[in-house]
């Protein structure tokens, strides 16, 4: 991170997230970026449930048959709709509110980044 263009790009990426503070420590110094207006995660009807981290998105548990949810199913707030595998860790991706699964936006076994749309959720 040495050029103003690199810092500008990083700032633009940060503004599109719900991260409030980003601090990078490097051998040559530290860069600290505050995001004064973190983006709220969209949970309105017809929006996607976003990946909370980088990882591999799984529709179901590796030791179980079938996905946790299918398109057209009703889900309750807090119900797992998928799993994010980060190394050996399986992190549940939960529905933020009651709704109907409209579509799985990320394929099973896909490497996803922070904020990637995983599951389309509509109002019940």
Q: Are residues 26 and 79 in the same domain?
A: no
Which structural domain range is residue 92 located in? 47-122
Q: Are residues 66 and 113 in the same domain?
A: yes
What pLDDT, on a 0 to 100 scale, did the predictor assign at position 8?
80
What pLDDT, on a 0 to 100 scale, did the predictor assign at position 123?
87
For residue range 85-115, list pLDDT tens digits in order: 999 999 999 999 999 999 999 999 999 988 8
What pLDDT, on a 0 to 100 scale, did the predictor assign at position 43?
44
Q: Are residues 58 and 115 in the same domain?
A: yes
Position 15 pLDDT exceeds 50: yes
Q: In what order do the strands lie in the sheet with 74-75?
A: 47-50, 117-122, 99-104, 74-75
CATH number at residue 94: 2.40.50.100
For residue range 30-87, list pLDDT tens digits in order: 888 777 665 544 444 567 899 998 999 999 999 999 999 999 999 999 999 999 999 9
């Amino acid at each position: 991170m040495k050029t103003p263009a690199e810092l500008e790009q990083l700032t633009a990426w940060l503004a599109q997230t719900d991260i409030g503070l980003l601090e990078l420590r490097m051998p040559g110094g530290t860069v600290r970026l505050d995001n004064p207006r973190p983006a709220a995660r969209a949970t309105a009807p017809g929006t996607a449930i976003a990946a909370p981290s980088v990882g591999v998105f799984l529709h179901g548990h590796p030791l179980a048959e079938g996905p946790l949810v299918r398109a057209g199913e009703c889900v309750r707030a807090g119900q797992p709709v998928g799993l994010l595998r980060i190394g050996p860790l399986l992190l549940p991706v939960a529905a933020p509110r009651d709704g109907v699964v409209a579509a799985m936006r990320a394929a099973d076994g896909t490497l996803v980044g922070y904020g990637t749309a995983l599951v389309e959720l509509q109002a019940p």
